[in-house]
Amino acid sequence: MKTNQSRHAFTMVELLVVIAIIGVLVGLLMPAVQAAREAARRMDCSNRVRQLALATHMHHDTYGYFPPARYESRPDADPSDQCGLETPTWLARVMPFVEQAALGQKWDFSKPWHQHPEAVRTVVPDIFLCPSRRSGTQPVGNRELRTTVSGGGGRLPCGCPIPVRPTDVSMDVDGALSDYAGNHGDLTPGAVGAPTDFYYGGNGTGVIISVRPECKNGRAIGPSDKIRMNSVSDGTSNTFLFGEKFVPVNQLMEFPFDSPAYDGDHLPASCRLAGPGLRLANGPSDVLADMFSFGSWHPGGVHFALVDGSTRFYSPEIDTKVLGALANRRDARVVEMIR
């Protein structure tokens, strides 16, 4: 006797419908997954900013002042006081306070950064990197160096040396990159080639600024200008210490936006400015932002550490006058907490 047995199977139409439903669900789910991942990366970035702020505080506790951005003599200084050009930046100075004591001991702050061994200048501590921009990488950039005119060739408005003749000697030097830059202040000192311009020693209105060196036998033996806690007359909770630096999406590992972080000759490598004339970059594709701008790859804002050690997230829409007041340590403008 035969029995009728029904067979259960998908028809082609039913299979296509199921695949389409799964595709729609995945499409709906992916933005939520990406948002969750970015939220985690943003929190990680905030923690790194906080740790780096703690390192600068430990430098202050140890030496009595915040780490200087770099040595930079003024053009009208006595020749005996002109030294320290191209020496390492503040990011090398905080090495002992970010669990890199052995590496920190290998930096000589009277010696040009590019004369240090490659094994020293290409190390990238994770704390220097934003997870949203360079997650899981050890980025190294390149800088083409050229000999300078004897006695100093002067500076361009960007704070960079005036280029010399193409026939002069040049070389390519590799160096570690960083996503965080010191607050050099605003543009109020000027940028016209005068000794009072912001990029010369002691003129920056921020906290991590270029300083004049104390020279001995042609070598820098220490900073002449020292920014301390009591130098921040506007209040430590109202003044930037450092923040995320703007790097366009198509300029990763490219000079001048993304150049070696220890390069004390190229100021944007380790410091940025803010205020009227220099707003926060509105994302990594902002074509109007400058190589001196702060900015991030986080949707909706930029992380900053303030002098009191706190970390805040600021919108690119912040008024530039307010931004300038936060960047200037001594303009006597009190700023309410703004995020």
DSSP states of 115-168 as a string? Answer: GS-HHHHT---GGGS-HHHHTT---EEEEEEEPPPTT---B-TTSPBPP--TTS
Q: What is the DSSP letter of 268?
A: G
Look at residue 151 in the predicted model and tell me its pLDDT.
40
User: Cα dist. 309→50, 55, 89, 216, 330 in Å?
Assistant: 7, 10, 20, 35, 18
Q: How far apart are CA 256 and CA 247, in angstroms?
A: 9
Tokens of 103: 């590496």
Q: How far apart are CA 74 and CA 94, in angstroms?
A: 25
Alpha-carbon radius of gyration of the chain: 24
Three-state secondary structure call for residue 180: strand
Look at residue 4 in the predicted model and tell me its pLDDT.
55
User: If 0-12 CB within 10 Å is exposed, 13-18 middle and 19+ buried, where does residue 325 land?
Assistant: buried
Q: How far apart are CA 164 and CA 144, in angstroms?
A: 13
Low-confidence ranges of the chain (pLDDT < 50): 1, 148-153, 167, 338-339
Look at residue 115 in the predicted model and tell me its pLDDT.
94
pTM of structure = 0.85
Q: How far apart are CA 304 and CA 280, in angstroms?
A: 11
Look at residue 10 in the predicted model and tell me its pLDDT.
64
Look at residue 186 in the predicted model and tell me its pLDDT.
97
